[in-house]
Amino acid sequence: MSDSNEILSGDLLENHENLASNNPDNGNQYSEGSITVLEGLDPVRKRPAMYIGDVGERGLHHLIQEVVDNSIDEALAGYCKNIIVTLHSDGGCSVEDDGRGIPTGPHPVKKISTLEVVMCTLHAGGKFDKQTYKVSGGLHGVGVSCVNALSEYFEATVQREGKMFRQIYKEGVPQGDVAVIGDSEKTGTRIYFKPDPTIFKNVVFKFDKVAERLRELAFLNNEVTITFNDEVENISETYHYAHGLVDFINYVDIDSKILVNPVLITGSDVSENGTETVVDICFQYTGGYTENLLSYVNNINTVEGGTHVTGFRSALTRTLNAYANSQNQNKKTNSKVTLTGDDFREGLTAIISVKVAEPQFEGQTKTKLGNGDVEGIVRSIVNDKLSQFLDSSPNEAKKILEKATVAAQARIAAKNSRDLIRRKNSLETSTLPGKLADCSLDSPQDTEIFIVEGDSAGGSAKQGRDRRFQAILPLKGKILNVQKSGPAKALENEEVKTIITALGCGFGDFFDISRLRYGKIILMADADVDGSHIRTLLLTLFFNYMKDLIIEGNLFIAQPPLYKIKKGKQELYAFNDSERDEVIERFRKESPKSKIVVEPEEGEIELPADNVVIEEARKDGIVISRFKGLGEMNPEQLWETTMDPERRTILQVSLGEAAQAARVFATLMGDKVEPRREFIERNAQYVKNLDV
């Protein structure tokens, strides 16, 4: 055929039909009729995870983000000042703005209302020609139409051109044409949606999760005021930060000791084709020992960094080094410590926000900026503005150099310690810790390691594991709190060194995830206060010095059960109080006259019976046992409840709200006692099953 788009000719089509009719096994035939074409929004409902990541808590809250992003894009274009987000008592959510309002007239191509085109067509919107919106936060171009598809009820109300328009949808299908419902002198769009419970595992929005993202957007867009209402919790908060990134960095470092106050760098660059790249950076120095850098592109949190981060770091190192050299020359001294980029980043908190017309994302989570030109733009702006700051603020510059010099001295002192944990081959077992019970397989994608609290739990885990692919590393006691210690002191801690050596991928700036020995790292500690503390210490270590393990999705938390409920030969495990009560109710329905008995078994403690009904009945009662800790489980129990991949539940550690994570770690693990006390008092009401 001369034309690749030409349809099948009559003879060829007839041959295909004859072939199909002569095939006796039509049931297993892969033919033209096997190809299904999903129309409209059907692909979203069929494969929702492809569009919003998953159908769990993250995907549910992503729906709000998609709608809010449209309002933020109106703000970036200069037309929106106010956004109101409301979690309604009926389980729905509404997002209202005072932007221009989505057009409602006939679409020139589709010949139906443009509002319906936007709400019911994938990849339809004003973000593609770069005329309506010069920059936008949409990452996939599917936006509000996906929210419509995944909602059991969806309502779009638009105010523009003196009228108020409305259209209602169910499961993405319009329930009528766009209708005029009144007059209005205002402009703007209001979207109300109620997530479809047949798609999402849970349709309850969490106030804190929504609030953190809205607060972040208000920091990044200082001309916008965002009001957040929760009708269920009867809470209303307003987010407006006139000083933008300065307010943001103060929020992140609120519980940290500040050495150098915020430095604000702004600038822009216009390319030959007329597109503008806007750069906003704010950084300051704290008394901490690690770098805390948050980066954004068009309001998207680029957790994997990218060219804008590379440009900032290289400019920071070059400019500060040049200033340090000039100071040494002015003092005519030959004694100086050679400073590196690592030294200048110790204790640094930085927020980088760039606005790019055509962002190109890459990386594991598609949140790493790949635009090569952005690196040079950021580097040039930082070089220029930072040099001006250093020359005009000698006292602040001196503090930065003093901080970097101390870091350099600690780096040199720690060199020998670092060399001990840097291995030539990540699979070389001759230098592995003696307490590590390794697995027989050596391919990271097939293996996992349990970092276990205590020798007794480690012993049960070693006996209960599958030796082919599961390694066990028991820890003795609590590891060092690295939030309050520098890398040199961290590397002197035996438990920290043991973890680093076992994983094989290094530490801090020497970290190389390609050398990781296990695909899954699973933290396994008791479900009590001590266990929570140990998990927090371990998470602090990974967050500060091995963050890529979190970004790449390698870090998990095991979920050991709290209870074992037994009735006759039936034996079930419960991971919390509500599951325990469900199992009890199930057993009671099966045998209404059953007697509930609470009695401790070996290695278990008695459960208070204040919420368990004691009934006089038959001899075969229900026995509830509460586990005191992992070490009290025998190997078989530990395997079937916590370690068996076919039956266990593990939680993946993610970095969804990086700013909040950094703030919480500083609060809980930092030097200041008062913020930690306030945090505990504020959240004590949410603690259940407190064991002391």
pLDDT in tens, 208-245: 999 999 999 999 999 999 999 999 999 999 999 999 99
CA angle 564, 625, 585 (to 5 degrees): 65
- In this predicted structure, the answer to whether residue 79 has a pLDDT above a threshold of 70 is yes
Number of structural domains found in the chain: 4
- The verdict on 311 and 360 lying in the same domain is yes
What's the rounded Cα separation, in Å, for the pair 637 and 643? 9
HEC assignment per residue over 236-263: EEEECCCCCHHHHHHHHCCCCCEEEEEE
Tokens of 101: 């309002």
225 located within any domain: yes
- The verdict on 94 and 211 lying in the same domain is yes
Sequence-separated (6 or more) residues with CB below 8 Å from residue 657: 209, 212, 213, 216
What per-residue confidence (pLDDT) applies to 336?
Answer: 59
Sequence-separated (6 or more) residues with CB below 8 Å from residue 199: 45, 48, 55, 150
Q: How far is CA 214 from CA 112, 249, 294, in A?
A: 34, 16, 16
Q: Is the dihedral of CA 595, 600, 603, 605 positive or negative?
A: positive
CA angle 517, 519, 525 (to 5 degrees): 95
585 located within any domain: yes
- In this predicted structure, the answer to whether residue 258 has a pLDDT above a threshold of 80 is yes
End of a domain among 413, 443, 462? 413
The pLDDT tens digits of the residues spanning 315-352 come to 999 999 999 988 876 665 444 578 999 999 999 999 99
Mean pLDDT rounded to a whole number for the chain:
81
Instruction: Tell me the pLDDT band of 5, cut-offs 50, 70 and 90.
Output: very low
- In this predicted structure, the answer to whether residue 597 has a pLDDT above a threshold of 70 is no
Q: Is 551 helix (H, G, I), strand (E, B) or coil?
A: helix
13 located within any domain: no
**CA-based R_g, the chain, Å:** 29
Q: Is 313 helix (H, G, I), strand (E, B) or coil?
A: helix
What per-residue confidence (pLDDT) applies to 422?
Answer: 47
Exactly one of 96, 438, 526, 632 is catalytic; name it.
526
Q: Is 442 helix (H, G, I), strand (E, B) or coil?
A: coil
692 located within any domain: no
**Residue found by looking up tokens 């200041």 in the block:** 672
- The verdict on 165 and 259 lying in the same domain is no
Residue of higher predicted confidence among 656 and 404: 404
Q: Is 685 helix (H, G, I), strand (E, B) or coil?
A: helix
Exactly one of 152, 342, 373, 528 is catalytic; name it.
528
- The verdict on 317 and 381 lying in the same domain is yes
Exactly one of 453, 495, 604, 632 is catalytic; name it.
453
Exactly one of 342, 530, 552, 691 is catalytic; name it.
530
- The verdict on 251 and 377 lying in the same domain is yes
- In this predicted structure, the answer to whether residue 612 has a pLDDT above a threshold of 50 is no
- The verdict on 364 and 386 lying in the same domain is yes
What per-residue confidence (pLDDT) applies to 58?
Answer: 87
HEC assignment per residue over 91-121: CCEEEEECCCCCCCCECCCCCCEHHHHHHHC
Sequence-separated (6 or more) residues with CB below 8 Å from residue 534: 453, 475, 478, 479, 525
Helix axes 207-220, 57-76, angle to 10 degrees: 20
- The verdict on 484 and 616 lying in the same domain is no
What's the rounded Cα separation, in Å, for the pair 492 and 641? 35
The pLDDT tens digits of the residues spanning 551-566 come to 888 999 998 888 888 8
Amino acid found at 261:
N
Q: Cα 123 from chain centroid?
A: 25
Instruction: Tell me the pLDDT band of 577, cut-offs 50, 70 and 90.
Output: confident
- In this predicted structure, the answer to whether residue 438 has a pLDDT above a threshold of 70 is yes
Q: What is the CATH number of the domain that holds 530?
A: 3.40.50.670
Instruction: Tell me the pLDDT band of 658, cut-offs 50, 70 and 90.
Output: low
528 included as an active-site residue: yes
Tokens of 240: 């407006």
604 located within any domain: yes
- The verdict on 229 and 83 lying in the same domain is yes
- The verdict on 228 and 281 lying in the same domain is no
Q: What is the CATH number of the domain that holds 100?
A: 3.30.565.10
Sequence-separated (6 or more) residues with CB below 8 Å from residue 303: 365, 367, 551, 655, 658
End of a domain among 626, 643, 673? 626
End of a domain among 239, 269, 296? 239
Residue 438 · residue 432 · CB < 8 Å: yes
What per-residue confidence (pLDDT) applies to 485?
Answer: 79
Q: What is the CATH number of the domain that holds 399?
A: 3.30.230.10
- In this predicted structure, the answer to whether residue 425 has a pLDDT above a threshold of 70 is no
**What are the backbone angles phi and psi of residue 666, rounded to the nearest 5°?**
-65, -35
| pTM reported for the whole predicted model | 0.71
Instruction: Tell me the pLDDT band of 255, cut-offs 50, 70 and 90.
Output: confident
- In this predicted structure, the answer to whether residue 641 has a pLDDT above a threshold of 70 is yes
Longest dimension (CA), the chain: 95
What per-residue confidence (pLDDT) applies to 68?
Answer: 96
Q: Once rounded to an integer, what is the mean pLDDT over residues 430-454? A: 87
- The verdict on 517 and 380 lying in the same domain is no
526 included as an active-site residue: yes
Note down the domain range covering 181.
45-239
What per-residue confidence (pLDDT) applies to 663?
Answer: 66
190 strand-pairing partners? 96, 157
Tokens of 348: 């640094």
465 located within any domain: yes
644 located within any domain: no
- The verdict on 524 and 612 lying in the same domain is no
What per-residue confidence (pLDDT) applies to 127?
Answer: 53
Instruction: Tell me the pLDDT band of 86, cut-offs 50, 70 and 90.
Output: very high
- The verdict on 387 and 507 lying in the same domain is no
571 located within any domain: yes
What's the rounded Cα separation, in Å, for the pair 526 and 638? 12
